[in-house]
Amino acid sequence: MSDITSRTPHDDLASRLTHPRYPRSNRYDARWTIENQMGPHALWLLEWLAPALGLDALPAGARVLDLGCGRAMTSVFLAKEYDLQVTAADLWIKPDENAPRIAEAGVADRVLPVFAEAHDLPFGEGTFDAIVSIDAYQYFGTNDLYLPTLTRLLKPGGRIGVVVPALRDEPEGTQPPAHLEPWWEPDFWCFHSPGWWRRHWTRGGAVEVEAADWLPDGWRDWLLWCDVVAEESPEEFHRRMAREVGEMVRVDEGRALGFVRLVGRRL
């Protein structure tokens, strides 16, 4: 079993990714986070979400669904940092790929990897104390009917918390912000403002929205991470994607792009 929370004191890469806002994430091996990333720094985003979601207040062994867990970094973090029982659900990364990673992190007794599509989740009503989704919910959660279906999996009063890439303001008309047009992809239309997300969750009637806020200087975190991944990722595809996204974030300088944190309590 590898110790993913060990740090080399003079490790330049670890120093580069040490962030005063994310003390828990700082304990994790920087190389491990780079090798298992699938987008923005998922541990940083989860650590930002955690206090608003009340993860510290959950009892040990509480059941949490990590929806769209990717390579299960966030699931490992939830188990290690908060002593939770985590169902690590993903469509693209299969359970037999995540299981060895989870075992090597020493949390095989607390994290169960499962194969699941977000619109066909094989869980019963009231199964979970909380639901978490980091950099995934935007791909399936913009449908007006989705949240009421998903939150039935929560116990009454349970919370759902997500962090998504976002736009500071909703674009007018059918065109993206002009300075982002060279990089704009149709998928980016799933990026929305804090106000849009608050309305979207409120009018569905499934949750009381407790947070819908913007990460201050989140673009700087995003850019730093892109620059490091572009240099250090062992996968050429991820290096190329990080360079492209990094160029967009660098030009934007926080004018439009960032992250939104959403927390809702099941009514």
pTM, whole model, 2 decimals?
A: 0.96
Decide: residue 125, CB within 10 A, 0-12 exposed, 13-18 middle, 19+ buried: exposed
Residue 27 is part of which domain span? Answer: 12-169+179-220+258-266
Separation CA 140–CA 11 (nearest Å): 38
The tens digit of pLDDT for each residue in 155-209 reads: 999 999 999 999 999 998 899 999 999 999 999 999 999 999 999 999 999 999 9
> How would you classify residue 171: left for phi > 0, otherwise alpha for psi between -120 and 50, otherwise beta?
beta
The total number of residues shown for the chain amounts to: 267
Does residue 22 lie in a domain region? yes
Residues with Cβ within 8 Å of 212's Cβ and at least 6 positions away in sequence, in order, are: 194, 195, 197, 198, 201, 260, 261, 262, 263
Does residue 187 lie in a domain region? yes
Please give the full DSSP string across 41-55, using - where no structure is assigned. Answer: -HHHHHHHHHHHHTG
Does residue 238 lie in a domain region? no
Does residue 118 lie in a domain region? yes
Number of domains making up the chain: 1
The tens digit of pLDDT for each residue in 114-158 reads: 999 999 999 999 999 999 999 999 999 999 999 999 999 999 999
If one counts every other C-beta atom within 10 angstroms of the C-beta of residue 240, the result is 12
Does residue 174 lie in a domain region? no
Does residue 131 lie in a domain region? yes
Does residue 50 lie in a domain region? yes
Does residue 240 lie in a domain region? no
Here the CATH number for the domain that contains residue 106 is 3.40.50.150
